[in-house]
């Protein structure tokens, strides 16, 4: 452990990528024994800053000093040497290995020293206040446990600075509390913690000091003294002003911005509907999907989706959500059960037939599945209508018709692109998501399956996406909202189904408070049985 | 408009990236010639004389016919990110049926019908030879590089067996098929000594260019190639696509074989393998997998090979020296691509840490910090 006066200082860090300055002259001091919150929207430059600290990228300018000595962190190995451990947003555990094997992956040396590893794990478990069975397979761990193992892995070689990249985005409320406890323990051990989030209430709850980033710049800093001096409202207002800057009014004023930034508990924000008055449009009846080896399959899922309804499907990431979406979209075959659309059996129909009927799917992998990066925005907008008139006649493309349709959709959905001929990959994540929504919502859409629709988007686009989904439902469309963001589920859904290990483990009617806790309980309960 | 300017810049970039490797390869090839004590200028001059001048260009065009068709065959599958490397077996099997049957078929049903029947047969045989790898790939995802290579070896061996047991010319002691009468071979384009197969090859290039760039099939094929996940997402059936692409590729190779045997060789000898696919491979990539774009490259190689054979004999080199140049083109192509993509991404040409290691001593000398 380092001395309590230890400081990791970033000085004037600048990193530019073609077309964007990800970090612009950012300076911050990270003190041992403090939790330093890094707050900012997606694309604000948090991840770049972290990858510089982790040795994944070198800054174009600026220095990093540890205890006053300038260091060059040229590789992840160097970062580990300096005691910098990172817990990435996505799990880096190998599912088929045990906990202990996962932890020993980074070890060098000829022989595996299992006894020493066990001792180290015990030590770390004590530190984190968690008990982890070293013999369990990583794939059998619950999500909270997985994260504890990830933290243990980051601190394996001894740590002075622990970086947690959006650690709460997929955790249940109670798991977040456990995490907060662990972080608190580590802090008191004299460790420096960088906690990255885009949720304001977490920053306030866990952080000793807060740095706010916007468009690559450091736009706000609240020192520990300020944090303890301010009331919660004052701190919030201060942070929000920094986060949104001039956009505060565009985001809909202070209250709306606070809502977007997750300052308060989420509540339902769609108008209530009487489910029984709306006919069922999509029905899954005991559907089991075929799966490839490493995928989580869907087992015996029964759902009914009514017209005008948003049905939330909550669950921990990787518990069969993609399988469920693909079974509805027709990308994956159902080996058992039936999928019915308007009462007609469509189990045997493929993607294109279901598309024609009006069953649409906005995939979560918008970069690699939802769009073809090398193709133009215009072609991406008609990607699911290849070969159909008026865009193709006798197999030959009619470019003016394609471009006209593209311009119409670009205007309607305010897709920001230099021209319809621009490569889709050149657009920002938010605009790519708009391409997907424009393509799926148009031309006779009746059922929309959305998988993590706002993942990684900036707050203004999140607002727009939510608005699109609500208005689609209000017009009589039906939405199957698959999401790992609890707030999103609670705000948008009329009813919530919980998925775990490919099975629907329960339903919650989203009226009144406590939905998140009920859903969370189901997620955990479902995780333990089977 | 900015997009237009970047458009022309990209076009220039593509031309530069395609031509540079050839230029570099010729320069380095020249250096090697010098080291061997030969005069590179005379060698390259001989190539031009024997490959282009005095009607020699016509020989080059004859050679170009199967090469161009082979190039298109590879382009179609490569665009789908499928690697049909079984071209030798596919080509020879098609060729041996044409060579073996033509001398007997022509007297029976006449020239025209024989041409058509033999071309269709050759296409069918070569295409059929891709079916096993295609099916394995489509059904089980079996690596098609391995299966096509294995099937190719079987095909090459099978060609020998077919000659020995079925098509052997009884008048010859060496294992080979009967030889077509010169008068029965494909007619020349009027006024030249280039057979009509050349026109077929050029037309095929134009047709496939159109199919790939302007039709819905071409777009589906490109999506399937660059992004299989997206292909599945938009409802492109990957199994059908895989099999169709292999069949087209095999069919074009069969067409190349039929035209080549009936237009140029007139017979097929055992242990004969022109290995067109191997030689044309780098040029297919230099042409950025564009059928029409490959025409100049194939022409270049045809001239180079036709003239080069004579030139290397004249200067006392092995004819394999031409393959050295082809290999050099491949090496320089890789380098230009690496540098080009680094530049596109705006990255340094050197890996970061290496660059840093190089910089640090200099920085120390000039007294500046390595990070600044």
Q: How far is CA A324 from the centre of its chain?
A: 18
Q: How far is CA A480 from CA A102, A331, A473, B368, in A?
A: 36, 16, 10, 59
Contact call for residues B169 and B162 (beta carbons, < 8 A):
no
Distance from CA of A244 to the nearest CA of B (A): 30
Residue after which a domain boundary falls, among A414, A443, A472: A443
Beta bridge mates, A303: A284
Whether residues A225 and A301 share a domain: the answer is no
For position B369, what pLDDT does the model report?
47
pLDDT digits (tens, 9 = 90+) for A469-517: 999 999 999 999 999 888 889 899 999 999 988 899 999 998 877 788 7
Whether residues A526 and A473 share a domain: the answer is yes
Q: Which residues of A touch B221 (CB under 8 A)?
A: none
For position A170, what pLDDT does the model report?
59
Backbone angles phi, psi at B197, to 5 degrees: -55, -30
CB pairs under 8 A between A and B: 85
How many whole angstroms separate alpha carbon A160 and alpha carbon A190? 8
Is A56 within 8 Å of chain B by CB? no
Query: Can you tell me the mean pLDDT for B342-366?
Result: 66
β-strands A35-40, A209-214 pairing: parallel
Query: Can you tell me the mean pLDDT for B95-122?
Result: 95
**Chain B interface test: which of A386, A392, A420, A435 (most B C-beta within 10 Å):** A386
Q: Grade residue A262 by pLDDT with cuts at 50, 70 and 90.
A: low
Q: What angle do CA A359, A365, A366 make, to 5 degrees?
A: 80
Q: B95 versus A177: which is more confidently predicted?
A: B95
Kindly tell me if the per-residue pLDDT of B119 is higher than 90.
Answer: yes
Residue A124 included in any domain: no
Q: Grade residue A449 by pLDDT with cuts at 50, 70 and 90.
A: very high
Query: Can you tell me the mean pLDDT for A16-23?
Result: 77
Kindly tell me if the per-residue pLDDT of A253 is higher than 70.
Answer: no
Share of chain A above pLDDT 90, in %: 32
Q: Which residues of B touch A369 (CB under 8 A)?
A: 227, 229-230, 232-233
How many whole angstroms separate alpha carbon B239 and alpha carbon B231? 11
How many whole angstroms separate alpha carbon B276 and alpha carbon B267? 17
Is B271 within 8 Å of chain A by CB? no
Q: B370 versus B301: which is more confidently predicted?
A: B301
Kindly tell me if the per-residue pLDDT of A382 is higher than 50.
Answer: yes
Report ipTM for this prediction.
0.80
Residue A449 included in any domain: yes
Q: What is the CATH number of the domain that holds A484?
A: 3.40.50.300
Whether residues A409 and A421 share a domain: the answer is yes
Backbone angles phi, psi at B82, to 5 degrees: -115, 140
For position B30, what pLDDT does the model report?
93
Is A21 within 8 Å of chain B by CB? no
For position A46, what pLDDT does the model report?
85
β-strands A84-87, A161-165 pairing: parallel
Whether residues A288 and A353 share a domain: the answer is yes
Residue A342 included in any domain: yes
Say which of A72, A368, A397 has its CB closest to residue B370. A72
Residue span of the structural domain in which A384 resides:
371-443
Residue A121 included in any domain: no
Whether residues A53 and A163 share a domain: the answer is yes
pLDDT digits (tens, 9 = 90+) for B252-305: 999 999 999 999 999 999 989 999 998 898 889 988 899 999 999 999 899 988
Contact call for residues B180 and B100 (beta carbons, < 8 A):
no
Whether residues A172 and A296 share a domain: the answer is no
Say which of B2, B216, B371 has its CB closest to residue A386. B216
In 10 A of CB B319, how many CB atoms? 13
Whether residues A329 and A206 share a domain: the answer is no
Say which of A373, A392, A421 has its CB closest to residue B216. A392
How many whole angstroms separate alpha carbon A44 and alpha carbon B158? 64
Beta strand extents in A406-521 (DSSP E only): 447-451, 478-483, 495-500, 503-509
Distance from CA of A485 to the nearest CA of B (A): 24
Q: Among B140, B29, B156, which Cα is nearest to B86's?
A: B156
Give the total number of structural domains in chain A: 3
Query: Can you tell me the mean pLDDT for B115-138?
Result: 97
Whether residues A426 and A465 share a domain: the answer is no
Whether residues A20 and A62 share a domain: the answer is yes
**Residue listed under structure tokens 């033509």:** B102
Q: Among B205, B211, B214, B207, which Cα is nearest to B293's?
A: B205
Whether residues A29 and A59 share a domain: the answer is yes
Kindly tell me if the per-residue pLDDT of B372 is higher than 60.
Answer: no
For position A529, what pLDDT does the model report?
39
**Using CB atoms within 10 A of its CB, is residue B89 exposed (0-12), middle (13-18) or buried (19+)?**
buried
pLDDT digits (tens, 9 = 90+) for A290-319: 765 456 688 999 999 999 999 999 987 777
**Residue listed under structure tokens 């002691």:** B173
Whether residues A44 and A182 share a domain: the answer is yes
Q: Among B326, B247, B235, which Cα is nearest to B281's?
A: B326
Residue A409 included in any domain: yes
Residue after which a domain boundary falls, among A408, A443, A478: A443
Residue A365 included in any domain: no
Q: Which residues of B touch A397 (CB under 8 A)?
A: 214-216, 219
Residue A281 included in any domain: yes
Say which of B227, B369, B372 has its CB closest to residue A372. B227
Q: Do B230 and A374 count as a contact with CB atoms less than 8 A apart?
A: no
Question: Worst-scoring range by mean pLDDT, A31-40, A451-460, B113-122, B147-156?
Answer: A451-460
Whether residues A336 and A348 share a domain: the answer is yes
User: Three-class SS of residue A19?
Assistant: coil
Residue after which a domain boundary falls, among A443, A475, A491: A443
Residue A120 included in any domain: no
């Amino acid at each position: 452990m380092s001395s309590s006066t230890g400081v990791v200082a970033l000085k004037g860090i600048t990193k530019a990528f073609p077309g964007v300055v990800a970090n612009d002259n950012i300076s911050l001091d990270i003190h041992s024994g403090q939790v330093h919150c890094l707050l900012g929207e997606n694309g604000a430059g948090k991840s770049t800053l972290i990858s510089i600290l982790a040795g994944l990228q070198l800054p174009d300018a600026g220095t990093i000093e540890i205890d006053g000595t300038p260091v060059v962190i040229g590789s992840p190995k160097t970062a580990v040497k300096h005691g910098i451990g990172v817990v990435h947003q996505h799990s880096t555990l190998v599912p088929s290995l045990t906990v202990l094997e996962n932890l020993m992956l980074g070890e060098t040396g000829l022989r595996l020293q299992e006894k020493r590893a066990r001792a180290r794990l015990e030590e770390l478990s004590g530190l984190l206040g968690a008990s982890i069975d070293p013999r369990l397979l990583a794939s059998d761990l619950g999500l909270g446990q997985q994260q504890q193992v990830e933290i243990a892995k980051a601190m394996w070689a001894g740590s002075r600075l622990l970086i947690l990249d959006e650690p709460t985005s997929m955790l249940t409320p109670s798991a977040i509390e456990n995490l907060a406890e662990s972080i608190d323990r580590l802090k008191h051990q004299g460790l420096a913690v960088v906690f990255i989030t885009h949720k304001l209430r977490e920053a306030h709850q866990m952080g000793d000091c807060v740095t706010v980033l916007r468009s690559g710049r450091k736009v706000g800093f609240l020192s520990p003294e300020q944090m303890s001096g301010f009331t919660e409202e004052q701190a919030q207002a201060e942070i929000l002003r920094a986060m949104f800057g001039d956009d505060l009014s565009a985001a809909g004023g202070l209250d709306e911005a606070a809502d977007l930034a997750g300052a308060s508990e989420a509540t339902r924000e769609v108008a209530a509907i009487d489910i029984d008055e709306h006919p069922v449009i999509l029905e899954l009846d005991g559907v089991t999907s075929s799966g490839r080896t490493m995928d989580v399959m869907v087992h015996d899922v029964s759902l009914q989706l009514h017209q005008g309804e948003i049905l939330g499907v909550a669950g921990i990431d990787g518990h069969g959500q993609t399988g469920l979406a693909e079974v509805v979209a027709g990308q994956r075959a159902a080996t058992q059960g039936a999928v019915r659309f308007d009462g007609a059996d469509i189990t045997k129909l493929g993607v294109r037939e279901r598309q024609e009927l009006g069953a649409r799917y906005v995939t979560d992998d918008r970069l690699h599945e939802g769009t073809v990066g090398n193709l133009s925005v215009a072609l991406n907008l008609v990607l699911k209508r290849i070969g159909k008139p008026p865009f193709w006649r006798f197999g030959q493309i009619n470019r003016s018709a394609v471009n006209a349709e593209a311009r119409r959709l670009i205007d309607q959905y305010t897709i920001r692109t230099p021209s319809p001929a621009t490569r889709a990959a050149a657009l920002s994540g938010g605009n790519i998501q708009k391409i997907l929504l424009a393509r799926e919502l148009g031309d006779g859409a009746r059922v929309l399956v959305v998988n993590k629709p706002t993942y990684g988007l900036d707050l203004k686009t999140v607002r727009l996406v939510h608005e699109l989904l609500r208005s689609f439902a209000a017009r009589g469309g039906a939405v199957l909202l698959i999401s790992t963001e609890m707030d999103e589920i609670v705000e948008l859904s009329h009813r919530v189904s919980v998925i775990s290990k490919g099975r629907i483990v329960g339903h919650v009617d989203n009226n009144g408070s406590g939905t998140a806790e009920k859903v969370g309980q189901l997620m955990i309960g479902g995780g333990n049985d089977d | 408009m900015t997009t237009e300017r970047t458009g022309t810049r990209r076009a220039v970039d593509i031309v530069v990236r395609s031509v540079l490797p050839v230029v570099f390869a010729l320069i380095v090839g020249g250096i090697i010639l010098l080291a061997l004590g030969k005069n590179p200028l005379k060698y390259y001059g001989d190539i031009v004389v024997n490959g282009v001048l005095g009607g020699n260009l016509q020989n080059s065009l004859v050679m170009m016919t199967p090469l161009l068709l082979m190039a298109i065959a590879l382009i179609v599958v490569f665009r789908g990110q499928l690697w049909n490397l079984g071209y030798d077996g596919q080509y020879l099997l098609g060729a041996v049926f044409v060579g073996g049957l033509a001398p007997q078929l022509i007297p029976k049903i006449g020239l025209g019908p024989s041409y058509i029947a033999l071309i269709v047969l050759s296409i069918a045989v070569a295409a059929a030879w891709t079916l096993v790898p295609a099916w394995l790939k489509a059904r089980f995802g079996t690596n098609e590089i391995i299966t096509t290579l294995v099937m190719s070896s079987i095909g090459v061996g099978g060609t020998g067996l077919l000659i020995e047991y079925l098509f052997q010319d009884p008048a010859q002691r060496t294992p080979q098929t009967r030889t077509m009468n010169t008068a029965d071979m494909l007619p020349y384009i009027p006024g030249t000594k280039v057979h009509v197969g050349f026109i077929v090859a050029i037309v095929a290039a134009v047709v496939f260019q159109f199919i790939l760039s302007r039709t819905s099939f071409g777009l589906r094929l490109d999506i399937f190639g660059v992004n299989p996940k997206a292909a599945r997402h938009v409802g492109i059936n990957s199994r059908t696509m895989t099999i169709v692409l292999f069949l087209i590729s095999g069919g074009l190779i069969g067409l190349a074989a039929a035209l080549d045997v009936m237009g140029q060789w007139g017979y097929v000898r055992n242990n004969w393998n022109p290995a067109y696919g191997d030689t044309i491979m780098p040029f297919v990539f230099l042409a950025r997998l564009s059928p029409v774009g490959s025409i100049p490259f194939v022409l270049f190689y045809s001239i180079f090979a036709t003239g080069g054979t004579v030139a290397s004999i004249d200067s006392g080199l092995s004819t394999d020296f031409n393959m050295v140049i082809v290999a050099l083109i491949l090496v320089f192509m890789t380098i230009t691509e690496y540098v080009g993509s680094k530049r596109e991404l705006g990255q340094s040409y050197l890996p970061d840490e290496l660059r840093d290691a190089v910089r640090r001593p200099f920085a120390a000398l000039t007294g500046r910090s390595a990070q600044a």
